[in-house]
A and B are shown apart, each in its own frame.
Chain A
Amino acid sequence: MSSVSQNFMKLFRGSSGAEIIPAQSSQKLTRRSSGLGELSRIWESAEGLCILDLGSTSPTNIRHFTENGHRIYSEDLLTASTDPELLSKDEQGSVILDSRKFLADNLVYPAARFDVVLCWNLPDYLDESLVKPVVGRLWSVLKPGGMLLAFFHTRDAGPDSPCHRFHIVGTDTLEMQKIVLRREARRGPTGAIHTAISDGFQLQRVFNNRHIENLFRDFASIKFFLARDNIREVLVVR
């Protein structure tokens, strides 16, 4: 039960943050999102928008947009970045991800196609070598005036922050679901069965405001919303 001071702080801070919904079979979080609230005004007032969702495939989001007459493209970039075929070695022999191959296989759309890109928390979990090339490609596939929503952990979040997928459940409300990677059992060349066990994606880094501004420097404008749950929401306009 929350105290009066906590409730007061909720009112005072107002905009965004996470809370636990108790009456679910598995613990799910909802969070208010000021960035989503701003975007909602766009897709509620227009028809036939072209929207790109870069999170894990979300039936909720697909239903949300198709029921309102928009076209939605779904592309799970984080999962795509785990493709073993992307691994290569640099001149020093270190294993790196091949960003050119990644962009040859992903985010392949005609220029200036999308009105909205939902990036969610992708930049925080994407491999370092892919972040700038991906943001560059997103700039090119957004229409002039198109908007992109991204979430970044703040300094306080720490490296163990679980990676969530986001489902739109209201005008400014998201449901957060922890991503648990599927266990894959494969038979190796010797016949032994290998089971890949992984809980989820790891936070790769914590961007500060200046890093974020630098990341989106080619965009026309950038707006920050600081939420209660150590998340900095960023809404950028191309």
Chain B
Amino acid sequence: MSTPASGLAQIGKSVFIKGELSGSEDLYLDGQVEGSIALKGNSLTVGPNGQVKASVEAKGVVVQGKLEGNVQASDRVELRKSAIVTGDITTQRISIEEGAYLKGKVDIHRTDAK
């Protein structure tokens, strides 16, 4: 199980946020968020205690906890074995560990290689 790197923006497991969350740096989220998360060009990691009810837009998304909402990742999505995801995923690349739970669509948008 990955732990947040030092210096990484973090939301701890006792924190609850309701509303729009946006930023321009990578974020490790182990608390609760309801609303929307926009980290264009950056990555979001939902930690094992994280509970997200939000649409997510980011470059990369790693889920170890619970995520309810649509995910749009310009680069990649990783669902770890403890992930519980309900929502549609649109991304270029996806990796899903055995044991992860997904209820929703997986749509892969490929960039054409020249």
Interface size for B (C-beta < 8 A) is 14
When the two chains form their complex, are residues B96 and A57 in contact, meaning their CB atoms are under 8 A apart?
A: yes
Considering the complex, give the chain A residue whose CB is closest to the CB of B88: A73
Residues facing A in B63-108 (CB within 8 A) are: 94-98, 100-108
When the two chains form their complex, are residues A59 and B96 in contact, meaning their CB atoms are under 8 A apart?
A: yes
Interface residues of chain B, those whose CB is within 8 Å of chain A, are: 94-98, 100-108
Tally A-B pairs: CB < 8 A. 38
Interface string of A67-91 (1 = CB under 8 A from B): 0010111111001100000000000
Can you list 23 A-B pairs with a CB-CB distance of less than 8 A? Answer: A57-B101, A57-B102, A59-B95, A59-B97, A59-B98, A62-B94, A62-B96, A62-B102, A62-B106, A66-B94, A66-B108, A69-B108, A71-B105, A71-B106, A71-B107, A72-B105, A72-B106, A73-B104, A73-B106, A74-B102, A74-B103, A74-B104, A74-B105
Question: Considering the complex of A and B, which 4 residue pairs feature the smallest CB-CB distances, nearest first?
Answer: A59-B96, A66-B108, A57-B102, A73-B105
CA distance A167 to B98 in the complex (A): 12
Which residues on B sit within 8 Å (CB–CB) of A71? 105-107
Most chain A CB inside 10 Å of its own CB: which residue of B94, B100, B106: B106
Which residues on A sit within 8 Å (CB–CB) of B108? 66, 69
Known: A62-B94, A66-B94. A57 touches B100 (CB 8 A): yes
Which residues on A sit within 8 Å (CB–CB) of B105? 71-74
When the two chains form their complex, are residues A66 and B100 in contact, meaning their CB atoms are under 8 A apart?
A: no
